[in-house]
Amino acid sequence: MGATSPRRSLWELDELGFVTRYTLLNAVHYGVPQTRERMFLFGLRKECGQIPAFPPPTHAYHMPRGYQQIRRAASRALRSDDLFPAPYWREPPRMAGRLRQAVTVRQAIGDLPPITALRDGTLPTGPRRFDTPCGYRPGRPSAYARVLRDWPGLESSVEGPRDHVIRKLPRDWPIFERMRPGDEYPAAHRIAEALLNDALHARRETRVSAQELRRRIVPPYRVDGFPNKWWKLHPDEPSRTLMAHLGKDSYSHIHFDDLQARTISVREAARLQSFPDGFVFAGSMNSAFRQIGNAVPPLLALALGKVLREQLVGRPSLVSGGRPAVVASA
């Protein structure tokens, strides 16, 4: 919605002939393996004779208490007249009936081949190029992975995607290896301090100072600054929200496999955001991470598009030459 105030946007859309409504949607309820909460605004031309609707959840997931508190606070803020006039607000669609279970991280990325080059010391330096297909693990993929492999028009080849590449973070793989699923930076820092203590007791190079060993082993970040800056994925839960900050670092999403001891790859980030395997990202690795973190998850976009199509099919506004609908996310 850009720099324009939300209230002004709604009024301007009303003057342009749109009926608008907005709500909060979480991608995890639409088959995306990620608890990503965003505000969506729908607008339909008044000639359509429809009030915008939002898709009902297709997947069940009861978010942790922290997410529930954030949603309640966001709902209160969005219902108020400070930003949005209250009549435009719609309560988020509720989970109802027999729904499929939320997609887990393991189901999302478990068929992609392991990458152990970071801990093995064989990961090359220099820019990462998307020019080497990675293939897939043997065995039957999850239903979710199959959807992304066979997305119509963006099907993956048998060779697999070419962007299953990671960052080189040689200092931190021993920490990644020892972290447990769900651990955040305070736990990682304690692990690093323990590794430093072991190194101090075992060191034979008397010329290496304690200060130098600390620099080599312990990350230089404050424990009380951003405790969730690091996070190790739960294999059997959905992921946390992927942010555009992935373009700068990916410590917020550390792979759950101790043997790989690394952060997620570009393709794994794409899987967690529900991008088809045949979708090609442009630019560098950092740029690809940023594109993924900034995107609306394709599966959520698909759910929104289906509802929009249902409301517009057969409406005369579709052939009147005007713009029948507007969709915005923030």
Beta-bridged to residue 44, according to DSSP, are 19, 325
Terminal Cα distance for the chain, rounded: 7
State pLDDT tens for residues 183-232.
999 999 999 999 999 999 887 666 788 899 999 999 999 898 888 899 99
Distances 51 to 22, 85, 305 between C-alpha atoms, Å: 11, 16, 15
* Sequence-distant (≥ 6) Cβ neighbours of residue 147 within 8 angstroms: none
pLDDT at 19: 93
Does residue 329 carry a pLDDT above 90? no
Helix, strand, coil shares of the chain, percent, nearest 5, are 35, 10, 50
How far, rounded to the nearest angstrom, does the alpha carbon of residue 165 sit from its chain's CA centroid?
17
Helix (H, G, I), strand (E, B) or coil at 290: helix
Instruction: Name the pTM for this structure.
Output: 0.90
Which is more confidently placed, 316 or 260? 260
DSSP 179: P
* Amino acid letter, residue 157: S
**Mean pLDDT across the chain:** 89
The answer to whether 103 touches 32, Cβ cutoff 8 Å, is yes
Q: Indicate the angle between helix axes 210-217 and 185-202, nearest 10 degrees.
A: 140
pLDDT at 328: 81
Kindly state the percentage of the chain with pLDDT values over 70: 88
Count each helix (H run) and each strand (E run) in the chain, helices first.
11, 5
pLDDT at 317: 45
DSSP 218: S
The answer to whether 251 touches 263, Cβ cutoff 8 Å, is yes
State pLDDT tens for residues 236-255.
999 999 999 998 889 999 99
* Sequence-distant (≥ 6) Cβ neighbours of residue 24 within 8 angstroms: 37, 38, 39, 40, 71, 74, 75, 78, 92
Residue 85 pLDDT level (bands cut at 50, 70, 90): low
Residue 164 pLDDT level (bands cut at 50, 70, 90): very high
Which is more confidently placed, 323 or 81? 323
Q: Do strands 59-60 and 100-101 pair parallel, antiparallel, or not at all (unpaired)?
A: parallel
* Sequence-distant (≥ 6) Cβ neighbours of residue 149 within 8 angstroms: 136, 141, 155, 156, 276, 277
pLDDT at 103: 98
Q: Residues 177, 180, 182, 184: what is their CA dihedral angle, to the nearest 10 degrees?
A: -60
Q: What is the mean pLDDT of residues 56-81?
A: 76
The answer to whether 78 touches 11, Cβ cutoff 8 Å, is no
pLDDT at 314: 56
Best-predicted range by mean pLDDT (4-18, 117-131, 181-195): 181-195
State pLDDT tens for residues 144-162.
999 999 999 999 988 999 9
Q: Can you tell me which residue has the tokens 């790989």?
A: 260
pLDDT at 323: 67
Q: Which two tokens stand for residue 218?
A: 């312990």
Kindly state the percentage of the chain with pLDDT values over 90: 68
Q: What is the mean pLDDT of residues 61-87?
A: 70
Closest CA to 279 of 166, 167, 147: 147
Does residue 61 carry a pLDDT above 80? yes
